[in-house]
Structure 1
Amino acid sequence: MSSRSCPAAAGDATAEELLDRARGLVPPALAAARAATGFGGRWKAIAARLERVPPCLSDLSSHPCFSKNSLCQELLQSVAATLAEAAELGARCREPPKAGKLQMQSDLDALAGKLDLNLRDCALLVKTGVLSDATVPAAQAEATAAQTDVRELLARLQIGHAEAKHRAVDGLLDALRENEESVLSALGRGNVAALVQLLTATAPKVREKAATVLCLLAESGSCEGKLMSEGALPPLIRLAESGSLVGREKAVITLQRLSMSPDIARAIVGHSGVRPLIDICQTGDSISQSAAAGALKNISAVPEVRQALAEEGVVRVMINLLDSGVVPGSKEYAAECLQNLTSCNDNLRRAVVSEGGLRSLLAYIDGPLPQESPVAALRNLVTAISPDSLLSLCVLPRLVHVLREGSVGAQQAAAAAICKVSSSTDMKRVVGEHGCMPLLVRLLEAKSNGAREAAAQAVATLMGYPPNARDVKKDEKSVPNLVQLLDPSPQNTAKKYAISCLLALSASKRCRRLMISHGAIGYLKKLSEKDVAGAKKLLEKLDRGRLRTLFSRK
């Protein structure tokens, strides 16, 4: 065991010598307890505990590795001190009282607590497997030293007095930073339960360190089940609500990581965890604010809890973060949260619009590289406002900006938004006048199938206005890009929109020639065999056009 994890040397006495001493102290302690006068009920309970000491010592000493582990020596020292105290208190109770009754009651209760701790620690020490780790063969000692040390640290979380546990947490933090895998492989439910209990320790520093360890465990991605089964959520939520700065930060980061699970997200709502997260979004430092926003974003991904989030005021808080978040991550999480909230709930869409969320999203989109979440939230909201409002708020110039400068995901969301707002001929005209057609045609080349599909759907919708169709016809990239979207593979979900666009262009002799030269007929034959709507009609048009060209050459 390393020096950092061992609280103190157990003295010069061997384990066998300490065992003999402890066994020798049991009879006088028992005799003193039975002979004590006054406080009969308390002394009877203490005597019953003392009678359990010899079997526990036998269990401990019968382990083949008993004499090779410092934990045994430390425990035996503690047991001997408790037995000596029992004998001394028993003797005092046979003499005229030198202290008041309340003091003696307090001393007896403390003695009972120490005996309980000794008995529990003795049983746990045998069960933890730490003693077995001491018998590693010499050839394997170096390879397994780290894991042996970790198991001893984990055992110390459950064994001994509070200060010893606190030192074990310090050692465990060091071990996690040096070799996380060795800790995770040795971690058991009892160890996690001990850490969870330390979240409610009296000393703030201990709570902070326990929260830091649990945060590292949660971020490893392999301990969610243990944390949940040992009841970590309620103390984590309390720590997020009223802990120190460091304690709150670690608790919120842990909640953010755990809330990625839909089941745990529901449990956080059930344990009244939303309000503390919202409060931190409004008052926390940059790290805590970002983590709290991330946790709320994760929770908002669960449809059935969205209304509960709204009732706690999450819409206003997310809009405020968009406007004045301390760090960019907070704003991104806020946009994702609004995207989730507005994905399929008209009431929440109206709430976001009425709270001024549309203006905040548009201002956020104005940045140099628009990302998907704010544009997707905007896509969800465009049907909740009138065409006049869309124009007065300059929504279309923002969508054009996204098509030019945004990420592929943002461009896909922008194309979908354009498709949604283009239900009337007048809006199709306005969209075309803003220069969307060539940008959508370029988006047909995107690597993402979803982006290609959204672009093809938007082009097909906008071509219902003849001037837009003429713009597509004039664009030299339109026909080649659309023909590529005739690929019959199941992964290509844009083919039905590509067929619609090409049918609209097939009246042009030049466009038909381009379609044929780029291999449209081969694609269309396969699509016709699969009865894809419009494929046979477009194939017949191209075949007739090809025949007319052949006859005219003759």
Structure 2
Amino acid sequence: MGEKSRSYSTSKQVQESAEESLEKRSIEHAIQLISSLISVSHSIRVFAVKWQCIRDRLEELLSSLTVIENCCDNSIENPSFIRTLKSIFSALKECDDLAKTCLGLSYSGKLLMQSDLDIVCGRLSDYTKSLSDIYTLGLLTQNYAIVLSRPNLGASKDDMKLYVMDLLSRFKIGCADMKRDALISFNEVIQEDEKYVKIAVEIASFVSSLVNFLDSNENEIQQEAAKAVSVIARIGNYRGVLIGGGIIAPLIRVLESGSQLSKEFAAKCLLKLTENSDNAWSVSAHGGVTALLKICSHCDCGGELVGLACGVLKNLVGVEEIKKFMVEEDAIPIFIKLLRSRDAAAVSQISSIDFLLTMASGDETTRQMIIKEGGVCALVRVLDPKLPFPSKAREMALKGIMSFCFSKANSFNTLLNYGFLDHIMYFFHYGDVSVQELALKAAFWLSGTSEEAKKTMGDAGVLPELVKFLDSKSLEVCEMAAETLYSMILVPKNRKKFVQNDKNVGFLLQMLDHLEINSGNKKLLLSILMSLTSCNSARKKIANSGYLKKIEKIAESDHNSDAKKIVRKLSSNRFRSIFNGLWHS
């Protein structure tokens, strides 16, 4: 059948229906006419955007009427509904006339036609709202509801779309229970198959319905809507649709007054949306910063929610003006208090450290404010082995300590007063592997701060602990231990202390046999041994150990400068010993 023939057929149906008595005009007839118009609209090649909008409104109207047909008696006598249905038939006839004109390209002017299309589109939208109002007020008799079964896995796109359209119609004209159940069903299918998300965001008004539900007075409806948008926000391509639907302001309102679960879902959604810094201003403009800081200031809000709020604020802090506003709103003391709190969950404390580090990054003024507010003391407290902080929190705290203290001349003494070195030594002795490596990172950093720090570390017993790491399975750990050891034995006092333990030098020599000739760690070991040769007792131990030939071989094979220096130094000492023996004989 040709395009004009189909349009004529549809027009004839509409006209005949309009001539019937009102009693004979049924919902079923309206559904048939709308379906025919939707089909015809796909054949129209002019004013494509306008007809897409009309098609969307027709699909919404179709969904609404379908639900009413399924949920109510077909012989409806309510005057409001009858008047609306009569108006719908009139709009359908007008829409069909416009379709026929566009198919035949027989319109008199583009501007006039565009205006007519806008008018009919607006009318269709109004009728959908009218049906929703009539249904919501309980003016129709609800006997039973035919709920479409969820399509099986692997169902066709058409079946999936039909199911989503049915859910949308229940969003629009269902009672509170029906809306809640439809939202639950939607959340179930989008968790199982991401394709449903794509279908939903492509259907006009679906996202806007979800956004409207965020302001619902029904806790369950608000919660399920917040859950749905948080899932949609995971998919980067669809975040723009949520933003276009005006979601920011309702999400902030949920954070201010929603249930605990609703707040968590709203925060998850904002966390994804604010990955794009362009959305930061919108969050700030709607009072989001204040709402998020309020959550962070109350540890009893729940660990996950506080952690999520910290994450959103971290995304926002990249905008300098918003960062200044946070500082004015006492963000720094709020987060340091959160870090110190015994009631705060681990995830909250980890997030608070991360936030403070982000705030201080590249900003000396903010860094000094954090230090002044007691931030370093709070971070050292996280390392206290008597407190039940997880390894991740301790790692973040150490990162923060290094960031805040590295450039301060008196930082080491400050850390000593807070018990920092005592905590590090405890982890060396009693910590698990991950915590011991954390202590090694701390020792590596401390050894580079000052000469005084190296002496104090040597007195505290750090040297033997470093030796233990030299045969670690992790190459990174081995190299860090070797570099730290080398840095520390440059101090004469530490060198003497190291050599006094016979096992230390012997262990270093044994390590040479287990390493490849050109490995970076072997070069570090040779540098350490070279440094030790300035000590008489160390030279004797190396010379008498039987490893001198090994060092000579290394010096010959890879021309290692430190190996050559060791050989020359030990050889000259042997020559002097022989000469002195002959002189005194």
Give the TM-score of the pair, scaled to structure 1.
0.65
Tell me: CA distance 1:349–1:540, structure 2 relative to 1, closer, same or farther (3 Å). same
Tell me: CA distance 1:301–1:180, structure 2 relative to 1, closer, same or farther (3 Å). farther
Q: Is 1:210 the equivalent of 2:225? A: yes
Tell me: CA distance 1:374–1:387, structure 2 relative to 1, closer, same or farther (3 Å). closer
1:155 positional shift: 2.9
Q: Is 1:461 the equivalent of 2:461? A: no
Which of structures 1 and 2 has the bigger CA Rg?
2
* Equivalent residue, structure 2, for 1:75: 65
1:276 positional shift: 1.9
**Preserved contact between residue 295 and residue 306 of structure 2 (Cα < 8 Å):** yes
Counterpart of 1:397 in structure 2: which amino acid? D
* Equivalent residue, structure 2, for 1:6: none
**Preserved contact between residue 527 and residue 562 of structure 2 (Cα < 8 Å):** no
Q: What SS does the aligned partner of 2:400 have?
A: helix
Q: Is 1:415 the equivalent of 2:438? A: no
Q: What SS does the aligned partner of 1:407 have?
A: helix
| Bigger mean CA deviation after superposition, 148-157 or 517-526 | 517-526
Q: Is 1:348 the equivalent of 2:385? A: no
Tell me: CA distance 1:289–1:403, structure 2 relative to 1, closer, same or farther (3 Å). same
**Preserved contact between residue 349 and residue 381 of structure 1 (Cα < 8 Å):** yes
Q: Is 1:198 the equivalent of 2:212? A: yes
1:485 positional shift: 8.2
Q: Is 1:246 the equivalent of 2:261? A: yes
Tell me: CA distance 1:200–1:56, structure 2 relative to 1, closer, same or farther (3 Å). same
Tell me: CA distance 1:116–1:224, structure 2 relative to 1, closer, same or farther (3 Å). closer
* Equivalent residue, structure 1, for 2:5: none
**Preserved contact between residue 483 and residue 520 of structure 1 (Cα < 8 Å):** no
| Bigger mean CA deviation after superposition, 206-215 or 152-161 | 152-161
1:116 positional shift: 1.8
2: CA distance between counterparts of 1:266 and 1:360?
A: 31
Counterpart of 2:445 in structure 1: which amino acid? A
* Equivalent residue, structure 2, for 1:97: none
Counterpart of 1:246 in structure 2: which amino acid? L
Tell me: CA distance 1:320–1:233, structure 2 relative to 1, closer, same or farther (3 Å). same
Deviations 1:310-368 (A, max 9, x none): 44433212211122143221122222333444454333332222112222222221136
**Unmatched 5+ stretches in structure 1:** 1-17, 31-51, 91-110, 122-140, 529-535
* Equivalent residue, structure 2, for 1:443: 469
* Equivalent residue, structure 2, for 1:501: 528
**Preserved contact between residue 227 and residue 265 of structure 2 (Cα < 8 Å):** yes
Counterpart of 1:410 in structure 2: which amino acid? L
Tell me: CA distance 1:153–1:327, structure 2 relative to 1, closer, same or farther (3 Å). farther
* Equivalent residue, structure 2, for 1:317: 334
**Preserved contact between residue 208 and residue 246 of structure 1 (Cα < 8 Å):** yes
Give the TM-score of the pair, scaled to structure 2.
0.62
Deviations 1:360-407 (A, max 9, x none): 222221136643101111222334454443332222212223444253
Tell me the percent identity: 21
Counterpart of 1:462 in structure 2: which amino acid? M
Tell me: CA distance 1:442–1:516, structure 2 relative to 1, closer, same or farther (3 Å). same
Counterpart of 1:211 in structure 2: which amino acid? A
* Equivalent residue, structure 1, for 2:399: 376
Q: What SS does the aligned partner of 2:268 have?
A: helix
* Equivalent residue, structure 2, for 1:48: none
**Preserved contact between residue 157 and residue 194 of structure 1 (Cα < 8 Å):** no
Counterpart of 2:401 in structure 1: which amino acid? L
2: CA distance between counterparts of 1:202 and 1:195?
A: 11
Quick one: which of 383, 394, 397 aligns to 2:419?
A: 394
Quick one: which of 163, 175, 183 aligns to 1:169?
A: 183
1:255 positional shift: 2.8
* Equivalent residue, structure 1, for 2:97: none
| Bigger mean CA deviation after superposition, 364-373 or 217-226 | 217-226
1:72 positional shift: 4.8
1: CA distance between counterparts of 2:41 and 2:332?
A: 61
Tell me: CA distance 1:301–1:472, structure 2 relative to 1, closer, same or farther (3 Å). farther
**Preserved contact between residue 265 and residue 299 of structure 1 (Cα < 8 Å):** yes
**Preserved contact between residue 458 and residue 488 of structure 2 (Cα < 8 Å):** yes
Counterpart of 2:333 in structure 1: which amino acid? R
2: CA distance between counterparts of 1:147 and 1:297?
A: 39
1: CA distance between counterparts of 2:291 and 2:169?
A: 33
Counterpart of 1:236 in structure 2: which amino acid? L
Counterpart of 1:75 in structure 2: which amino acid? L
Tell me: CA distance 1:326–1:212, structure 2 relative to 1, closer, same or farther (3 Å). same
**Preserved contact between residue 339 and residue 373 of structure 1 (Cα < 8 Å):** no
2: CA distance between counterparts of 1:189 and 1:292?
A: 30
1:520 positional shift: 9.4
Deviations 1:395-444 (A, max 9, x none): 221222344425366235412431243x13x3322121111122233334
Deviations 1:137-175 (A, max 9, x none): xxxx95534866643343346557624465532210232
| Bigger mean CA deviation after superposition, 148-157 or 248-257 | 148-157
1:227 positional shift: 4.5
* Equivalent residue, structure 2, for 1:155: 165
Q: What SS does the aligned partner of 1:360 have?
A: helix
1: CA distance between counterparts of 2:15 and 2:472?
A: 79
Counterpart of 1:398 in structure 2: which amino acid? H
* Equivalent residue, structure 2, for 1:116: 125
* Equivalent residue, structure 2, for 1:276: 291
Counterpart of 1:399 in structure 2: which amino acid? I
Q: What SS does the aligned partner of 2:165 have?
A: helix
Q: Is 1:59 the equivalent of 2:37? A: yes
1:454 positional shift: 4.0
**Preserved contact between residue 383 and residue 423 of structure 2 (Cα < 8 Å):** yes
Tell me: CA distance 1:70–1:268, structure 2 relative to 1, closer, same or farther (3 Å). closer
Tell me: CA distance 1:226–1:74, structure 2 relative to 1, closer, same or farther (3 Å). closer
Tell me: CA distance 1:293–1:71, structure 2 relative to 1, closer, same or farther (3 Å). same
1:467 positional shift: 2.2
Deviations 1:266-292 (A, max 9, x none): 875676533322111123234322322
1:463 positional shift: 1.9
**Preserved contact between residue 34 and residue 62 of structure 2 (Cα < 8 Å):** no
* Equivalent residue, structure 2, for 1:106: none
Counterpart of 1:504 in structure 2: which amino acid? S
Tell me: CA distance 1:427–1:222, structure 2 relative to 1, closer, same or farther (3 Å). same
1: CA distance between counterparts of 2:251 and 2:181?
A: 21
Quick one: which of 356, 359, 363 aligns to 2:381?
A: 363
Count of residues in Structure 1 that have an aligned counterpart in Structure 2: 459
Aligned pairs for 1:25-64 (under 5 A) are: 26=18, 58-60=36-38, 62=40
**Unmatched 5+ stretches in structure 2:** 1-9, 23-29, 43-58, 89-119, 131-150, 579-585
* Equivalent residue, structure 2, for 1:338: 356
| Bigger mean CA deviation after superposition, 358-367 or 201-210 | 201-210
2: CA distance between counterparts of 1:231 and 1:326?
A: 33
Tell me: CA distance 1:209–1:346, structure 2 relative to 1, closer, same or farther (3 Å). same
**Preserved contact between residue 150 and residue 183 of structure 1 (Cα < 8 Å):** yes
Deviations 1:21-52 (A, max 9, x none): 9765656899xxxxxxxxxxxxxxxxxxxxx9
2: CA distance between counterparts of 1:499 and 1:345?
A: 41
Tell me: CA distance 1:291–1:354, structure 2 relative to 1, closer, same or farther (3 Å). same
* Equivalent residue, structure 2, for 1:11: none
Tell me: CA distance 1:417–1:327, structure 2 relative to 1, closer, same or farther (3 Å). same
**Preserved contact between residue 171 and residue 182 of structure 2 (Cα < 8 Å):** no
**Preserved contact between residue 35 and residue 62 of structure 2 (Cα < 8 Å):** no
Counterpart of 1:373 in structure 2: which amino acid? M
**Preserved contact between residue 339 and residue 377 of structure 1 (Cα < 8 Å):** yes
Q: What SS does the aligned partner of 1:170 have?
A: helix
1: CA distance between counterparts of 2:316 and 2:129?
A: 40
